């Protein structure tokens, strides 16, 4: 997948305003790209736009989304429906609301299979059980006959993953797939996704705010703030030498990851609050909260440029020596 110059606008009580601007990203087969940032930074909007599932109030105003060289945004609705599930699929944050509550789990998976493959109902039902077994669902034949509300949170998320994988898509987008789960089940689900990705060679875009999750599964990381990318690097470079002051602040707020790693130390915090997207500052959106901001930061938006080989950031003042 190659995403170029993506802009997303939303119409609200404050008029139309951008929620994602100048988004560029790519992901290769077998690679995991993580997109991190605070709530409201545009992560989920970016994810939904890549499947053309934006809410009615939002619209893509510019950009291209190329999947195997084909422009997904230029396709008609029939072509989009053929692409979803077969080329690209999504694991949603809360499976209880994403799954159809009045259809049995097996029916939902089989329906997706029949939409994309020429097969009989029996063959689709068999595929549904097989893919539930693939995601390590206990007693998959029985679970296929149950409704979503009859399953535990971890089982529902496994069913959601099975639905996404039913037609062997090349790209999986996972939007906070473990948020509603306890820590033990989180680890199981993340391990499952990682194992399946390696086995199937699927590309993955993982949306999260949890840097602990990022450190476990990512190959590359994009850090977003107020609708824009502020940093992008390999997982090792980002954690070893974060460049942007916002990324450094995020690292400092994670127990054991930042400067405050000794027992009893106070965690670092980022002063201030995220500005509303309809009233962003003139220059760098992070400047009002940045301890190193200069007059230039307040007046001019920094370009997103390569600071070190393979390490990109948008910052006027912070240098590599830091």
Q: What is the pLDDT of residues 103-131, one digit of tens each?
A: 999 999 999 999 888 899 999 999 999 99
Residue of higher predicted confidence among 36 and 213:
36
Q: What span, in angstroms and rounded, lies between the C-alpha atoms of 161 and 199?
A: 15
Do 286 and 153 fall into the same domain? no
According to DSSP, the β-strands at 2-12 and 15-26 are antiparallel
Number of domains within the chain: 2
Q: What is the pTM of this model?
A: 0.90
The pLDDT of residue 187: 83
| CA 198 – CA 29 distance, rounded (Å) | 10
Residues 16 and 85 in one domain: yes
How far apart are the C-alpha atoms of 143 and 155, rounded to whole Å? 9
- The residue from 218, 250, 273 where one domain ends is 218
Predicted confidence (pLDDT) per residue in 153-173, tens digit = 889 999 999 999 999 899 999
pLDDT, tens digit (0-9, with 9 covering 90-100), for 51-97: 999 999 999 999 999 998 899 999 999 899 888 888 999 998 888 88
Are 175 and 298 in the same domain? no
- Pairwise CA distance, residues 289 & 102, whole Å: 47
Give the domain-ending residue among 218, 247, 277.
218
What CA–CA distances, in Å, run from 292 to 2, 252, 266, 296, 318? Answer: 34, 16, 21, 11, 8
Answer whether residue 182 is part of any domain.
yes
Do 177 and 284 have their domain in common? Answer: no
Residue 13's pLDDT band, with cuts at 50, 70 and 90, is confident
Q: Give yes or no for a contact between 245 and 315, defined as CB atoms under 8 angstroms apart.
A: yes
Pair (268, 175) in one structural domain: no
- For residues 128 and 51, membership in a common domain is answered with yes
**Of 218, 252, 287, which residue sits at a domain end?**
218
User: How far is 260 from 119, CA to CA, in rounded Å?
Assistant: 57
149 in Cβ contact with 64 (< 8 Å): no
The band of 233, judged by pLDDT with boundaries at 50, 70 and 90, is very high
Residue 20 structural domain? 2-218
Q: How far is CA 70 from CA 79, 81, 82, 83, 116, in A?
A: 11, 14, 13, 10, 18
Asked if 20 and 52 sit in the same domain, the reply is: yes
100 and 134 co-located in one domain: yes
Q: 78 with 111, same domain?
A: yes
The secondary structure element, H or E, covering residue 231 is strand 228-234
228 with 216: CB under 8 angstroms? no
């Amino acid at each position: 997948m190659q995403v170029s110059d993506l802009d997303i606008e939303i119409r609200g009580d404050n008029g139309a305003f951008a929620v994602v601007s100048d988004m560029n990203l790519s992901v290769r087969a077998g690679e995991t790209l993580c997109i991190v940032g605070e709530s409201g930074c545009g992560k989920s909007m970016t994810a939904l736009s890549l499947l053309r599932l934006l809410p009615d109030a939002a619209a893509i105003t510019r950009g291209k989304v190329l999947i195997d060289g084909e422009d997904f945004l230029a396709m008609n609705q029939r072509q989009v429906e053929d692409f979803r599930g077969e080329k690209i699929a999504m694991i949603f944050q809360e499976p209880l609301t994403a799954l159809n509550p009045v259809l049995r789990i097996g029916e939902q998976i089989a329906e997706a299979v029949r939409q994309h493959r020429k097969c009989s109902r029996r063959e689709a039902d068999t595929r549904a059980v097989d893919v539930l077994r693939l995601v390590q669902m206990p007693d998959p034949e029985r679970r296929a006959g149950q409704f979503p509300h009859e399953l535990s949170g971890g089982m529902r998320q496994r069913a959601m993953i099975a639905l996404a994988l039913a037609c062997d898509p090349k790209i999986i987008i996972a939007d906070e797939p473990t948020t509603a789960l306890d820590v033990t089940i989180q680890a199981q689900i993340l391990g499952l996704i990682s194992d399946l990705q390696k086995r199937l060679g699927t590309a993955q875009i993982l949306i999260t705010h949890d840097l602990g999750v990022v450190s476990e599964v990512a190959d590359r990381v994009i850090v977003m703030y107020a609708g824009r990318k502020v940093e992008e690097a390999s997982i090792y470079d980002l954690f070893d030498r974060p460049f942007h002051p916002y990324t450094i602040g995020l690292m400092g707020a994670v127990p054991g990851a930042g400067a405050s790693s000794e027992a009893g130390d106070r965690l670092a915090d980022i002063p201030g609050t995220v500005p509303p997207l309809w009233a962003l500052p003139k220059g760098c959106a992070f400047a009002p909260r940045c301890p190193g901001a200069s007059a230039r930061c307040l007046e001019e938006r920094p370009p997103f440029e390569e600071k070190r080989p393979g390490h990109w950031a948008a910052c006027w003042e912070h240098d590599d020596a830091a």
